[in-house]
Amino acid sequence: DAKTTQPPSMDCAEGRAANLPCNHSTISGNEYVYWYRQIHSQGPQYIIHGLKNNETNEMASLIITEDRKSSTLILPHATLRDTAVYYCIVSPSTDSWGKLQFGAGTQVVVTP
């Protein structure tokens, strides 16, 4: 069963920040929040992950609410190449297999 809820689609203007929400109200204490994206007909690409604290890397920032029931992925300056399906996934840290169960994701379309 999917553990996350994401909007099915969203549009973003090129050059603007894209804020992608994700609800994970049933997340447990040992579960991480992962974000991946999949550009059409390619394998998914890892973006970022976090447990409690906000995280930032060269691709994006991840903001996790204090109660950890939701998070937001921020693409600071969206480009046309950021058009993709974005997946928010929760996965337990103690699961040595690291299984990822993909939901439907959010189709992000960046427009000029």
Partner 1 sequence: GAVVSQHPSWVICKSGTSVKIECRSLDFQATTMFWYRQFPKQSLMLMATSNEGSKATYEQGVEKDKFLINHASLTLSTLTVTSAHPEDSSFYICSATPVASGREQYFGPGTRLTVT
Please report how close the Cβ of residue 42 comes to partner 1 at its closest, in angstroms. Answer: 6
Nearest partner of 101 among 20, 44, 25, judged by Cα? 44
- Spatial contact of 59 and 45, defined as CB atoms under 8 Å apart: no
Q: Of the two residues 5 and 38, which places its CB atom closer to partner 1 in the complex? A: 38
86 binds partner 1 (CB under 8 A): no
Distance CA 90, CA 57 (A): 19
Among 34, 73, 84, 108, interactor with partner 1 by CB under 8 A: 34
Q: What is the nearest approach in angstroms of partner 1 to the Cβ of residue 77?
A: 23
Structure tokens at 52: 């409690």
State which of residues 7, 21, 92, 103 lies at the interface with partner 1 (CB under 8 A). 103
